[in-house]
Amino acid sequence: MQYEKYFRCALASIVIAFAGCSGGANPVTPAAYPRTAQVAQNDALPSSVELVYVADASGPLAAYSATSSGAVHPAFTIPDPMLANGYWGPWGVTFDSGGNIYVQTFLSDATSYVFGARSHRFIRAFMGGGPDTRSLAVDSKGYEYIATSEQGSMIAVMLPGASGSANNLYEVNPVRSFFTDEAAFFPWPSILTVDSHDDLVAALVRNGPNAIEIFAGGAHGSDTPFRVISGSRTRLGNCLGNPCNNMAVTFSPRAHEFYVGVFEGAQTRILVFAEDATGNVAPRRTIEGNATALSGDGILGLAVSQRTGEL
């Protein structure tokens, strides 16, 4: 994927949105936050401009034009808001239905940051679950899903609008949490997404065949997946060797398809599954081979254009 190829210095994950991303139910009103020169650059961008947001663990969140190619400067950046007792190290990025930006950091006591859709002003922060939170997804109702690792692989579900305070490291109790069958401590980003039904989709490496597991979303869903894609025909790989066939996943509402990146050295590939795929099913199509430039690289993040459907 061209954006990972050109912008991969300490890259954690990516997502695509429009400069004036808005819409959805009840977007959150941003709190007062001092603008920076980097953030203010977005004021000149038309709302029709499509941007690629890059979470870079060594720096700010950066947004590039979706038509960029080569060594280019970002259209704008969102820097560390410098919260007391917060930790900034962008590892994952996603959006809610109102276009607000969620940045997930990675550390034992990692903070999740939320910024306004157009203003990019800081709104709130929270820490859900842990240790080593590393992936974040938000459904259309505002429920926030956070994947953790190291001491058992758990997914925490946060109520919409979760917000913590500095005196307890922004910790907020999940409304729901459950352990998965993921192999312990593989802090790969971009393993969570949501589908068109607000179900949670998790790309899990396992001590056996890897799997795409689909869980009921919201506060009261089951702790076990109601649908699983796994088996030799899926080509999702496994975590029996070293290194694991780590994965990244995203969902295209436009095509009603899952895109799954699978790391396997020279056989690194992207697999495409129908939204309702289940069991030991072959992907609809694959992207792989020398001409793709994927060979030998890890796929840390995937994003799909809302305008063109391009990956």
pLDDT at 28 over 70: no
CA 73/CA 38 separation, integer angstroms: 12
Nearest to 154 by CA among 127, 136, 181, 126: 181
Q: Does residue 303 belong to any structural domain of this protein? A: no
Q: What are phi and psi of 248, to 5 degrees?
A: -130, 150
User: What pLDDT sits at residue 5?
Assistant: 30
Residue 301 lies in a domain: no
Q: Across residues 4-11, what is the average pLDDT?
A: 34
Residue 264 lies in a domain: yes
Query: How many other C-beta atoms can be found within 10 angstroms of the C-beta atom of residue 78?
Result: 24
| Total structural domains within the chain | 1
Specify the CATH number for the domain of residue 68: 2.130.10
Is 306 within a domain? no
Give the residue from 69, 51, 67, 55 showing the smallest Cα distance to 5: 69
What's 140's DSSP letter?
Answer: T
pLDDT at 123: 96
In a domain, 181, yes or no: yes
Q: Dihedral of CA 64/68/73/75: which sign?
A: negative
Is 138:130 a contact under the CB 8 Å cutoff?
no
Is 299 within a domain? no
pLDDT tens, position by position, 196-222? 999 999 999 998 899 999 999 999 999
Owning domain of residue 102: 2-292
Q: What is the pLDDT of residues 53-112, one digit of tens each?
A: 988 887 899 999 888 888 999 988 999 999 999 888 888 899 999 989 999 988 767 889
- Considering the domain boundaries, does residue 114 fall inside one? yes
User: Minimum mean pLDDT among 28-37, 144-153, 202-211: which range?
Assistant: 28-37
CB distance 239 to 287 below 8 Å = no
Cβ atoms of 198 and 96 closer than 8 Å: no
Give the residue with greater pLDDT, 297 vs 237.
237
Residue 157 has pLDDT above 90, yes or no: yes
Helical (H) or strand (E) element with 3: helix 2-6
Residue 298 within a domain: no
Helix (H, G, I), strand (E, B) or coil at 265: helix
Q: What pLDDT sits at residue 171? A: 92
Residue-level pLDDT at 2: 31
pLDDT of residue 42: 46
